[in-house]
Structure 1
Amino acid sequence: MKKIIFWLNLIIAITIFSKNIDINFNVPKGKVLFYKYGDENTQEALFYNGHISLNLDDKEYSFLFSTSGYPIIEKNINIKEATSPININFKRSDTVTVKGNIKNGELNIGGAQITFMDSENHGYNFSTDLFGNFTAYIPKGNYRVYVDKTGYSLNKKNAIVYQFLNPARSYNLDLNLKELPSFVKGQAIDENGNSIPYPEVSFKIGTDIVKITGDEFGMFKLNVNPGIITILCEKEGYTQNGTVRNIEKDSSITNIEIPLTRVRATISGIVTDGIRPIRGARVILRDNDFNKISSVKTDENGFYEFYKIPSRKDVFITVMDNNKVLKRSENFNLENDIKNFNLILDN
């Protein structure tokens, strides 16, 4: 019984709240864009043989009808009140013809989309053929022109208002695009995935080498020409590392991560009073700013070791006893492992 009621309700809903609308056109094929007031999404349908049939709710719809060679037609139609069929006639009265070509230098740009935008923000879209040619039919008026083609942008001198006001004449519009440079973008990170601030980054492009400094987040970016590029990252205290990438035309790479490994060194030796080893002495390694890097205690043989300390910096060692400095070494640069760095206490 429940199933019967469900289907009856569905049939009633379809009968009352929707109906088929036939739309006839005076051209064989084209496109229909439509949306119901209150909806967020626009629907699209193609018509052939000058006809299309749509099943629509009894609501008010906004339509855009388009076909090649004619201006777009906009209509608001209340489906509940509409009589089927609806006749749509594309016309060229008060229509201006604009012919032109799109190039980059001497290169014809095929497959570019050119948009004519009027003062009421109505856009009319057309595409260039294989040779960069286009023919646009638009209502007479004033227009700004936009071109969409991956890897290119419209030359600024073409960013003006064009007046196409006389339907009796054909206008010519040749546009020049400038090629957008490809770019590489990446980040220097450490072994733990943390950013390394201000890395020195070298780019080898052919025989040319360009050097830049990354930002505080380790990010770097450079505009490059297509081809093989070698990227090398360096940072004091880290081993250098790099990568090689092939940059294709009209493309960029934005997700490069170059991991750098911190250079580390080991210091070891014996603390002694000149005769016997000192057991349990506190040995502290500090940098030039007196920041503590590491602290250890000597074993029964007076032996100490700072293991795998970040290197390539100036450091010094103190031997402490109850907050009293028993020995302070000279400053030295920690670049490699140091053995037998023995500390003889002052008498």
Structure 2
Amino acid sequence: MRFKLFLCFILVFSLKTFTNNEIVNISGFVTDKEFRLGNASVSFSNSSNVVKTVKSDINGSFNIKLPKNKYRITVKKDGYNSLIGDNFFVDYIFEEPKQLILNMTDNKIKIYGKIINKFGDPIKNVDIKIKISENLLDLTSDSLGNFSFEGQIGLISIFAQKDGFYGNGTSMLIQNEQFINDISIVLEAKTFYISGALIKENNYLKDIYLELINGSNNKVISTIKTTKDGLFEFRDILTYEKAYFRIPSIGYKSEIFTINKDLRQFNIFTD
């Protein structure tokens, strides 16, 4: 009877010892070197590709019990990139587990840019569309043509457009920069020409100064002199919502019209 009890004791002790030798308690925390990161997924993959995953708590800490083995560790969290790399291994076959410190980095990137014309002058109130992965963002350039936004590592596309200009944009693959401040997007202005004849009582008015006026602010856009045949031609005129003609010498002012295309044979009758 005593011998049987002794065997049972040995068996229980052996099983307990075996169990303790085969299971290890692994603990640690996830951090971005400044703050502990909660809700991060810490995965342990063995040589048979069996994966066990644990989530860090609100304090960034995690704890998991695993069989003694060699594990590849990965850590993931939305908005962050792992700094431990994809080939971080620990071997708990012969070594006691030490507390793991898994470092991550915020993958948000501050991006600064400017919308300019071909002369380098800023363009304000430009509509800017940003695509960050599958997310879309709408911005507007300020009075100095500047814009900024928070992106993330990966592919970012920027497209700028404004009435009176041809749209333009750029795409870039962001890998590990923390901020980018040298993006310049050049918009080329759409220009048109207006040509015709200046006529009064069926006569062509020659050598007459003709002004093209911005209808929004009454400022002179351009001034030309009609030819000896009474013809005129305004070139490289920017798009204006409203405009009109003025002839100071005879006190003439035309009706307001829109400049959004080339205006050929745009004859002016001053009668």
Query: What TM-score comes out, normalization by structure 2 length?
Result: 0.61
Query: Offset at 1:332?
Result: 1.1
CA distance in 1, matches of 2:107, 2:134: 22
What CA distance in whole angstroms lies between the structure 1 residues aligned with 2:172 and 2:101?
37
- Contact between 2:129 and 2:139, CA under 8 Å: does it hold in 1? yes
Identical columns (%): 24
Q: Does 1:294 align with 2:228?
A: no
Among 219, 233, 240, the alignment partner of 2:146 is 219
Q: Counterpart amino acid of 1:340?
A: Q
Question: What is the rounded CA distance, in whole Å, between the counterparts of 1:107 and 1:196 in structure 2?
Answer: 48
Contact kept? 1:198, 1:217, Cα under 8 Å = no
Q: In the alignment, which of 245, 260, 264 is matched to residue 187 of structure 2?
A: 260
Runs of 4+ aligned structure 1 residues displaced above 4 Å come to 99-102, 172-178
Q: Deviations over 1:190-222 (max 9, x none)?
A: 111121123211112334321111222111111
The higher-RCO structure (CA 8 Å, 6+ apart) is 2
**Amino acid in the other structure paired with 2:202:** I
The residue number in structure 2 matching 1:310 is: 238
Letter in 1 for 2:175: E
Q: CA deviation at 1:274?
A: 3.3
Which whole-Å CA distance do the structure 2 matches of 1:204 and 1:266 have between them? 36
Separation of aligned partners in 2, 1:304 and 1:188 = 34
**Gap runs ≥5 in structure 2:** 1-26, 32-36, 44-71, 75-79, 83-98
* TM-score w.r.t. length of structure 1: 0.48
The 1:204/1:131 distance shift into structure 2, 3 A limit, reads: closer
User: Following TM superposition, by how much is the alpha carbon of 1:232 offset from its aligned partner in structure 2, in angstroms?
Assistant: 0.7
Name the aligned partner's letter for residue 306 of structure 1: F
Alignment of 1:137-148 (within 5 A): none
Q: What stretches of structure 1 of length at least 5 have no aligned partner? A: 1-98, 109-129, 133-149, 153-171
Which residue identity is paired with 1:316? Y
- Match of 2:199? 272
Paired with 2:137 and 2:248, the residues of 1 have a C-alpha distance of 49
Contact 1:186–1:256 (8 Å) recurs in 2: yes
Give the counterpart of 2:254 among 316, 326, 329: 329
Equivalent residue for 1:245, pick from 169, 172, 179: 172
Amino acid in the other structure paired with 2:254? S
> Are the aligned partners of 1:226 and 1:249 in contact in 2 as well (CA < 8 Å)?
yes
Secondary structure of the residue that 1:243 maps to in structure 2? strand
Q: Distance in 2 between matches of 1:107 and 1:334?
A: 62
CA 1:336 to 1:107, structure 2 compared with 1: closer, same or farther past 3 Å?
A: farther
Q: Over aligned residue pairs, what C-alpha RMSD do you find?
A: 3.0
Task: Report what 1:199 is aligned to.
Answer: 126
Number of equivalences: 188
